[in-house]
Amino acid sequence: MDKTAFITLSNVSKHYSIENNSGVSNVNLSIKKGDFVAIVGESGSGKSTLLKLIFGLLAPNTGEILFKGAHLDGPHEKLIPGNDSMKMVTQDFNLNIYAKVFENIASVLSNDDVQGKKQKTWEMMEFLGIDKLADKRIVELSGGEQQRVALARAIITEPEVLLLDEPFSQMDAVLKNQLRADLKRLSNYLGITIMLVSHDPVDGLTLADEMIILKDGKVIESGKPGAIYANPLHMYTASLLGNAFVLPADEARNIGLRSKKKHVMIYPEWVEFKNSWTSKKYIVKDIFFKGFYEELLLERAKVKIRAINLNPGSYKKGQGVQVILNQFLEFD
């Protein structure tokens, strides 16, 4: 099979009503088998709609979706909507809340091999670090734990495609990092194609082979996370992915950045503290402690910029610092 045509969307539009264009419009995508794809966009940009279309829960108004080269059936073409080779995990986990964790996971496997079913369920619970919760009922679990049970239920059937709609939304930072690592492992070792929707760009940046940026229902750019981050085509993307700050071109000129476009954008990590003949003096206006680093608000010629300081405590408010701006982006 052609690896480049695992899931293909051609001119796919799904509008919920005729009056407004809510949903997604003219989406063209080609997803490779085994890829980890992250869909990033602000709330309401059409992320969930896109996943539902690929899963077959929604039918496109126009355009076509192909899965392994064949037409993907929409909800009206199937008795039970959804694709058998795919699993989708959404924010409502669809768990049996009065049943135990073990039963919730085991129940998706067939009874043909009772011993194998048991073993597989334990392996899956261990894989996701929920084996200690086996005998707890879902109602007794935290949101993050429930999310992992839902994920276990989806993965245990070995789907070819795993569609995840905000799987980390209920998790604290530690759990989130663990689950990120688990998902990466899944995609690397089991070769599952994963499509992840997240409002946290870090998920996309750290996990994805391919990142898709959605805005108002349209794919505005896509590509490798590193490339999109370093060289976004849109201001929207830069502010979504990074902590970039925007300066109007005339303000930027006051600190020596010349652009023919209307806006200049800089990621704080591009601001370097350095004494050299090209560096300029800024005043530290404010300091925001972030744990292992600080964010500094700096000012020069009434223009405020933000910088990252990896040695917290090394600067004081009101002090002068020498700074070079290594790089900047330009947008209209």
Binding footprint of ligand ADP on the chain (CB under 6 A): 16, 22-23, 41, 43-49
Site string for Mg ion, 141-170 (x = CB under 5 A): ------------------------------
| Minimum distance of Mg ion from residue 300's CB (angstroms) | 41
Cβ partners under 8 Å of residue 265, min gap 6: 235, 238, 239, 244, 245, 246, 247, 328, 329, 330, 331
Choose the one of Mg ion, ligand ADP, none that binds residue 288, judging by a C-beta under 5 to 8 angstroms depending on kind.
none
Choose the one of ligand ADP, Mg ion, none that binds residue 43, judging by a C-beta under 5 to 8 angstroms depending on kind.
ligand ADP
User: Pick from 227, 229, 235: which is nearest to 331 by CA?
Assistant: 235
Edge-to-edge strands, sheet with 329-331:
245-248, 263-266, 329-331
Distance (Å, whole) CA 80 – CA 192: 23
**Binding segment for Mg ion among 5-13, 30-38, 40-48, 169-177 (CB under 5 A)?**
40-48
Pairing type for strands 294-300 and 303-309 reads antiparallel
Which tokens go with 224? Answer: 């490798």
HSE-up (13 A, CA, CB side) for residue 126: 6
Of residues 195 and 266, the one with the C-beta less far from ligand ADP: 195
Q: Which residues pair with 245 in a beta bridge?
A: 266
| Minimum distance of ligand ADP from residue 52's CB (angstroms) | 8
Of residues 48 and 104, the one with the C-beta less far from Mg ion: 48
Which tokens go with 322? Answer: 């020498």
| Minimum distance of Mg ion from residue 12's CB (angstroms) | 17
Examine residue 45 and tell whether it contacts Mg ion (CB under 5 A): no
H/E segment holding residue 320: strand 320-325
* Ramachandran assignment for 312, one of left (phi > 0), alpha (psi -120 to 50 degrees), beta (any other): beta
Choose the one of ligand ADP, Mg ion, none that binds residue 41, judging by a C-beta under 5 to 8 angstroms depending on kind.
ligand ADP
Examine residue 48 and tell whether it contacts Mg ion (CB under 5 A): yes
How many other CB atoms are there within 10 angstroms of residue 10's CB atom?
15
Examine residue 259 and tell whether it contacts Mg ion (CB under 5 A): no
- The CA-based dihedral angle spanning residues 157, 90, 127, 139, taken in that order and rounded to the nearest 10 degrees: -110
Of residues 21 and 322, the one with the C-beta less far from ligand ADP: 21
| Minimum distance of Mg ion from residue 165's CB (angstroms) | 6
Of residues 45 and 259, the one with the C-beta less far from ligand ADP: 45
Edge-to-edge strands, sheet with 62-67:
23-31, 7-15, 62-67, 70-71
Distance (Å, whole) CA 166 – CA 258: 40
| Minimum distance of ligand ADP from residue 84's CB (angstroms) | 23
| Minimum distance of Mg ion from residue 50's CB (angstroms) | 9
**Binding segment for Mg ion among 42-50, 216-224, 251-259, 287-295 (CB under 5 A)?**
42-50
Choose the one of Mg ion, ligand ADP, none that binds residue 56, judging by a C-beta under 5 to 8 angstroms depending on kind.
none
| Minimum distance of ligand ADP from residue 3's CB (angstroms) | 28
Choose the one of ligand ADP, Mg ion, none that binds residue 275, judging by a C-beta under 5 to 8 angstroms depending on kind.
none
Interface contacts to Mg ion, rule CB under 5 A: 48
